[in-house]
C-alpha cells in the first residue's frame, strides 16, 4: 500500500488530498485544529469571517473533483453573482457579457466546512 500526507486541512489541502487520492491508496491530512463539523471558525483560520470569492475556473475545478459542491455552497448561503453584469462600477452594459462568468461568495468558514465534509 502506498500512502502520502497532506499538511493542512484548508480548501487547498482538501483539494490536494482529493487529487492525490487518485494515485495513492491512502491520503492522510494533518490539521492542527479540530474540525468541529459546523460553520464556526477555527483558531488556524483567523480570516474565516471575511468574505471570499471563487472565480468560475476555480468553481469548475472544485465541481470536477467534488461533484455537487456548487449546490452545497448555495445551501450554506453562498451567492452566485454575474460579475460582468451585476457588479457596481461595471463599465459594461447589462447583458453585454456571458452570464456564465460568475463567482461565488461566502464566508471562508462555510467553504472550509463544506470542503471538510466532502469525501467523508
**Residue 111 burial by Cβ neighbours in a 10 Å radius (0-12, 13-18, 19+):** buried
User: What percent of the chain shows pLDDT beyond 70?
Assistant: 63
14: pLDDT strictly greater than 70: yes
Residues 15-66: tens digit of each pLDDT: 999 999 999 999 999 999 887 766 666 777 777 777 777 778 888 899 999 9
119: pLDDT strictly greater than 50: no
pTM of the model: 0.66
Q: How many Å apart are CA 77 and CA 117, to the nearest integer?
A: 16
For residue 28, the tally of other CB atoms under 10 A from its CB is 11
Amino acid at each position: 500500500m502506498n500512502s502520502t500526507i497532506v499538511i493542512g486541512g484548508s480548501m487547498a489541502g482538501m483539494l490536494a488530498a482529493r487529487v492525490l487520492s487518485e494515485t495513492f491508496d491512502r491520503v492522510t491530512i494533518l490539521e492542527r485544529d479540530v474540525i468541529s463539523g459546523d460553520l464556526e471558525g477555527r483558531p488556524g483560520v483567523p480570516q474565516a469571517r471575511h468574505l471570499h470569492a471563487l472565480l468560475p475556473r476555480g468553481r469548475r475545478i472544485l465541481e470536477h473533483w467534488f461533484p455537487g459542491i456548487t449546490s452545497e455552497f448555495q445551501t450554506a448561503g453562498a451567492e452566485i453573482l454575474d460579475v460582468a453584469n451585476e457588479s457596481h462600477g461595471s463599465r459594461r452594459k447589462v447583458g453585454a457579457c456571458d452570464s456564465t462568468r460568475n463567482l461565488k461568495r461566502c464566508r471562508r468558514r462555510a467553504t472550509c466546512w463544506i470542503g471538510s465534509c466532502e469525501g467523508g
